[in-house]
Amino acid sequence: MKTAIATVCLSGGLDEKLLAIAAAGFKGVEIFENDLLSFNGTPKDVRHAAEDLGLTIVTFQPFRDFEGMPADKRERDFVRAERKFDLMAELGCDLLMVCSNVSPESAGGIDRAAEDFHALGERAAKRGMRVGFEALAWGRHINDYRDAWEVVRRAGHASVGLVLDSFHILSRKTDLKALTAVPRDRIFLVQLADAPVLEMDFLSWSRHFRNFPGQGDFPVLDFMIALQQTGYDGLLSLEIFNDQFRAGSARSVAIDGHRSLIWLLDQMGGSAPSLPPRALCLGTEFIEFAMDEATEPSFNALMRGLGFARSGVHKSKSVTRWSQGGINLVANTEKEGFAHSYYITHGTAVCALGLRVDDAAATLRRARGLLDQPFQQAVGPGELEIPAVRGVGGSLMYFIDPASKLARVWDIEFEPTGETAPDAGLTVVDHISQSMHYEEMLTWLLFYSSLLNLDKVPAQDVLDPGGLVKSQVVRSADGAVRIILNASQSSRTQSSRFLSEVFGSGVQHIALATDDIFATVAKLRENGVPLLRIPENYYDDLEARTGLSGDELDRLKSLDILYDRDGTSEYFQVYTHTFEDRFFFEVVQRRNYTGFGAANASIRLAAQTRLAQQID
Ligand code: MG
Ligand code: MG
């Protein structure tokens, strides 16, 4: 299928939009009338700009309030349409998109509308043009694609066809069965959009909250499967009205759009060349921190306090491996290379995540196919070239797999120190939380879920003393990898302050798992690791909420452990202080619990804010 995108999806002027659309690899573009009106040039200039970029203008839209108008208005509408045809002739575009009438002056009646479309089709045909009819979800008389199809069918004109828009259909939960019976050559254009499920009027929902397939909650795949049954192999065009997209970078939004279509077609088994499947995530192999030598001693002290052993040093670089259970934390104090440049920009920070996947080379191939950004840097003799792509905030995501020699990276690149340490019972990385700009959230949601076999769970709002934080989890079905994306529109929340202090998006906290939180906390205390103090009120409330016994509550309270329960499953959490105002660790124990202690998040955020104020 041929793919296209509407200019309305992107920010900037029409010329910038066309550049971004071409750069993202699209071959088709829908021109929105407003973009043309505000363009400083003639329609012919637009045509040439598009041609120079290898873009075909697939439709001109929208043409509003046409069908079912009273006689005097009807004639004027035909004159209006002829003007659009003039304009389209200059643009080099042959399809006018007409959306269903919302005017209170319009009358209903399928036959009446069909007559209007037949007449419009006659006029279009004389000019070698076509018209497509789309049912808006809020159309006055026609708001269902089945009625729009009946109008097109009865119009009985080869130049009149149907436009299907997944938003209008899925927002109304219209049955998809009738779609399968529409002859494919009667469908002139298919517009795709996803959206979050919201309780609001269709118009506001559509104009502000649409997003790319895979970013929202709509069953876009079901829509595509119904469409596939018609045999349709024409244009698939993204038409997304979204406030964040219109505030974001046109280039990166256009790439997100193309990525979403590639992934959607991939899910239908129709992608060519075919992509390797989404990478199966087996766990977090390592987390790499960029820092300078001045910071290293306090980082080392924290590592020792948490029960990590300095298990290896890199054979040729100033990189140290700290390990405990199945966790590897890597401190990089190199004076050149990627980690160093990351440090220069962000200060002490997580510069890379290493994920264990089923097939690292295939993951990189899939990343390329999805227009992700592969990363390579010169490797020294004897070093492995670990497949990597750019992730959140310019950080890297490396891929290691058990089958290739990448599995032996620690033996190949590191010299064991032979040092051991009394561990604190930490076993694996439980989850990683990344803070980002609000506008970036959908980008990274799509990045993770298109490349990796991670699925999103419904987003949550968390109350921070500085405002609301939106929290979106992606995770593998077995919990081997869990990533939390946090963003806030308030500049006063912890996640927003992180962005300004660390100069960009990145990892803000890392949760490590234990099988016995009480033993682990005892060990951390013994090692002198300060933990976040939790106010007494929390435990009073916990008593009321959970009915834990006095002894159990006392035990939690004495160790500053947060607790959550879901049926019979249980969750325990403690937090370290924040390292140099940057990131912190969490220790968690799960007993069949799959959440993240959302009920405790606001308590934790308030306690951290209080602590930061004391320290500042
Ligand atoms: Mg539409
Ligand atoms: Mg957490």
pLDDT, tens digit, for every residue of 170-220?
A: 999 999 999 999 999 999 999 999 999 999 999 999 999 999 999 999 999
Work out the pLDDT band at 612, boundaries 50, 70, 90. Answer: confident
The alpha carbon of 434 and the centre of ligand 2 are apart by a number of angstroms equal to: 10
* Distance in Å, CA 600 to ligand 2 centroid: 10
**How large is the average pLDDT for residues 146-153?**
98
Cα of 421 from ligand 2 centre, angstroms: 26
CA of 99 from ligand 1 middle (Å) equals 8
Distance 598 CA to ligand 2 centre (A): 9
Specify the pLDDT at position 377.
Answer: 87
Least trusted range by pLDDT, from 27-36, 295-304, 539-548, 559-568:
539-548
Q: Which ligand is nearest to the CA of 482?
A: 2
pLDDT digits (tens, 9 = 90+) for 421-478: 999 999 999 999 999 999 899 999 999 999 999 999 988 888 888 888 999 999 999 9
Predicted local distance difference test score (pLDDT) of residue 139: 97
Cα of 586 vs centre of ligand 2, distance in Å, is 6
- Judged by its nearest atom, the ligand closest to the C-alpha of residue 240 is 1
Concatenating the DSSP letter of every residue in 493-525 gives SHHHHHHHHTTS-EEEEEEEEES-HHHHHHHHH
Q: CA of 101: how far to CAs of 130, 178, 301, in Å?
A: 18, 22, 69
pLDDT value for 387: 97
Q: Does the pLDDT of residue 503 top 90, yes or no?
A: no
In angstroms, how far is the first alpha carbon of the chain from the final one?
A: 58
Q: Which ligand is nearest to the CA of 575?
A: 2
**Distance of CA 587 from the midpoint of ligand 2 (Å):** 8
Counting ligands in written order, which one lies closest to the CA of residue 239? 1
Looking at all shown ligands, the one closest to residue 63's CA atom is 1
CA of 376 to the centre of ligand 2 (A): 31
| Ligand located closest to 98 CA | 1
Question: What value does the mean pLDDT take over residues 528-535?
Answer: 96
**Proximal ligand: closest to the CA of 587:** 2
Q: Is the pLDDT assigned to residue 401 strictly greater than 60? A: yes
Band of residue 399 on the pLDDT scale cut at 50, 70, 90:
very high
Instruction: Give the ligand whose atoms come closest to the C-alpha of residue 562.
Output: 2
pLDDT in tens, 109-126: 999 999 999 999 999 999
Ligand found nearest the CA of 135 = 1
The amino acid at residue 154 is: R
Of 288-292, 473-477, 609-613, the poorest mean pLDDT is in 609-613
Query: Is 123:78 a contact under the CB 8 Å cutoff?
Result: yes
- How far does residue 281's CA lie from ligand 1's centre (Å)? 37
Distance (angstroms) between ligand 2 centre and the Cα of 433 equals 7
Of the candidates 526, 594, 598, 595, the residue with the CA atom closest to the CA atom of residue 559: 526
Distance 563 CA to ligand 2 centre (A): 12
What's the whole-number mean pLDDT along residues 16-36? 97
Q: Whose atoms come closest to the Cα of 598: which ligand?
A: 2
User: Distance, CA 186 to ligand 1 centroid (Å)?
Assistant: 17
Biggest CA–CA distance in the chain, Å, is 91
* pLDDT at residue 272, as a whole number: 55
The owner of tokens 């405790």 is 600
Mean pLDDT calculated for residue range 296-310: 98
SS3 260: helix
**Ligand 2 centroid to residue 414 C-alpha, Å:** 31
Give the ligand with the smallest distance to the CA of 585: 2
Ligand 1 centroid to 113 CA: how many Å?
19
d(C-alpha 267, C-alpha 20), whole Å: 25
Q: What is the pLDDT of residues 538-578, one digit of tens each?
A: 999 998 888 899 999 999 999 999 999 999 999 999 999 99
Q: How many angstroms does the Cα of residue 506 sit away from the middle of ligand 2?
A: 15
Ligand number, closest to the Cα atom of 573: 2
Which residues fall inside 5 Å of ion ligand 2, going by CB? 511, 586
Cα–Cα dist 369/576, whole Å: 40
Whose CA is closest to 586, among 514, 522, 527?
A: 514
CA 404 / ligand 1 centre spacing (Å): 47
**Distance from residue 239's CA to the centre of ligand 1 (Å):** 6
CA of 413 to the centre of ligand 2 (A): 31
Ligand sitting nearest the alpha carbon of 433: 2
pLDDT at residue 45 greater than cutoff 80: yes
Bridge partners of 160?
131
Contact 615, 581 (CB under 8 A): no
603 CA to centre of ligand 2 in angstroms: 12
The stretch 233-258 carries a mean pLDDT of 95
The pLDDT assigned to 91 comes to: 97
60: alpha, beta or left, given left = phi > 0 and alpha = psi -120 to 50? Answer: beta
Give 465 Cα–ligand 1 centroid separation in angstroms.
40
Mean pLDDT, range 359-386, rounded to an integer: 94
pLDDT digits 0-9 by tens, 56-78: 999 999 999 999 999 999 999 99
Distance 97 CA to ligand 1 centre (A): 9
| Residue 388 CB neighbours (<10 A) | 24
Amino acid 422: pLDDT:
94
The CA 585 to ligand 2 mean position distance, Å, reads 9
Mean pLDDT, the chain, integer? 95
Alpha-helix residue ranges (DSSP H) falling in 308-400: 337-346, 360-369
605 alpha carbon, closest ligand:
2
Label residue 467 left, alpha or beta by phi (over 0 means left) and psi (-120 to 50 means alpha): left
Structural domains of the chain, with CATH: 2-267 (3.20.20.150), 281-416 (3.10.180.10), 427-615 (3.10.180.10)
* DSSP codes, 428-494: EEEEEEEE--GGGHHHHHHHHHHHBS-EEEEEEEEEETTEEEEEEEEE-TTSSSEEEEEE-SSTTSH
**What are 606's two structure tokens?**
């308030």
Q: Quickly state the pLDDT bin for 271 (edges 50, 70, 90).
A: low
Per-residue model confidence (pLDDT) at position 495: 84
The Å distance, Cα 163 to ligand 1 centre, comes to 8
* Ligand 2 center–CA 327 separation, angstroms: 17
Centre of ligand 2 to C-alpha 432, Å, is 8
- Unique residue bearing structure tokens 């962000």: 346
> Residue 464 Cα, ligand 1 centroid: separation in angstroms?
38
Q: How far apart are CA 372 and CA 130, in angstroms?
A: 37
Q: How far is the CA of 64 from the centre of ligand 1 (A)?
A: 12
CA distance 379 to 55: 40
Q: Kindly give the residue spans of alpha helices, DSSP state H, lying in 24-62.
A: 33-37, 43-52
pLDDT greater than 90 at residue 526: yes
Nearest ligand for residue 164 CA: 1
134 alpha carbon – ligand 1 mean position (Å): 7
Residue 462, pLDDT score: 87
